[in-house]
Amino acid sequence: MSFLSLISAGILRRSGRFISIFTAIMLASLNVTLAAEPPIAGMPRLSTVAAPVQAPAFPPDTSFAPTPAVADTPTMARIRERGRILLGYRQSAVPFSYVDADDQPMGLAWALCQRVVTSLQQEMAMPELRVTPVRVIEQMRGPLVKGDAIDIDCAPSTVTASRGQQVAFSLPYYAANVRLMVRKGTGVASTDDLRGLRLAVVQGTTAERLVRARHARAGFQLLMARDYDEAFRMLRERRAQALALDDVLLEGLRATSKTPDAYRIVGAPLAKKSEHYALVLPKDDPGFKARVDAALAAIFRSGEMAQLQRQWFQAAIPPYGHRLAVEPSPETLTLWETGERPGKEQEASASSPTSGS
């Protein structure tokens, strides 16, 4: 090979390496530029992680095109924008939603919401998603959810048709009945025994509606309480001779007392139909409801719901230390069984009118 040929070959080899390096740099630069571009309005959010540099295939094989990401629902978009999910809780709805000695929310409904949040973190690819607890009283439940002040209300809320005009409900997770709690030895066994006496009820619950329907006939005086704790305080301080509320909540309130044996739950249920508890969600966001329902259905299928029930209903209630010893009713067990297969049957159950808290 001649001297000129050797020089030419060296130049070409160096040029080839230069062209290869230049091409790789340009492709990498283009990839970074595209990743940094903000997503087009109305399109799903794009990942900003740069893909490995590859030469584009020609012609493109559309049969292996990636499936586009599912767009956020309106509620999920708000959650993503603020980086937090707002969860409502109650101060004293033992054992579903209440606070411990450090004023931190706890209870069965709160535990369910934590598992829903974990599911949302995975689906939204937001492991850093934070929870902001928001204290709610019964009267403000609907307005706060409707006004986007909370994303999920984690409390024992009964599914009713009237509430369904303002909010949506998850799959139901518990069944209860409105009854009376009295002090031992009072002789009161039903609302018929309350003539001339005082009955405490929490304002904004459907227990209020039930006792109001009997008020004129039975002749008792109604004392309206702001929340569960105030209603029970009326009974403890003998300002009221009875308290009307859901039986499982009455059991929870009794467990918070220093003398739980001083109180009895008496009489038949005040309604013919049991109440179904559900998480309260924003209305007109079926996509968000579907994701919450899917998380709950997974809990029902796994058997974790039974474990949570034993933890909060059949053991000592923190921080009070008294044991509830409440077994799930047959109707509650049916809700868990049908909740494993969310569909039309369960949607009908979740939207059926009933009366309760």
Beta carbons of 109 and 155 less than 8 angstroms apart: yes
87 DSSP β-pair partners: 133, 152
Query: In which band, very low, low, confident or very high, does the pLDDT at 340 lie, cut at 50, 70 and 90?
Result: confident
| pLDDT(162) > 60 | yes
More confident residue, 163 or 350: 163
Confidence of residue 343 (pLDDT cuts 50, 70, 90): low
For residue 267, give Cα distances in angstroms to 7, 65, 147. Answer: 106, 65, 39
Give the per-residue pLDDT at 176.
96
The length of the chain in residues reads 357
Q: Give tens-digit pLDDT for 267-298.
A: 999 999 999 999 999 999 999 999 999 999 99
Task: Tell me if residue 131 falls in helix, strand or coil.
Answer: strand
pLDDT of residue 44: 33
Residue 44: C-alpha distances to residues 38, 48, 72, 324 (Å): 11, 12, 8, 48
How confident is the model over 140-169, as a mean pLDDT?
94
118 by DSSP, 3-state: which?
helix
176: left (phi over 0), alpha (psi -120 to 50) or beta: beta
pLDDT tier for residue 70 given thresholds of 50, 70 and 90: low
pTM: 0.76
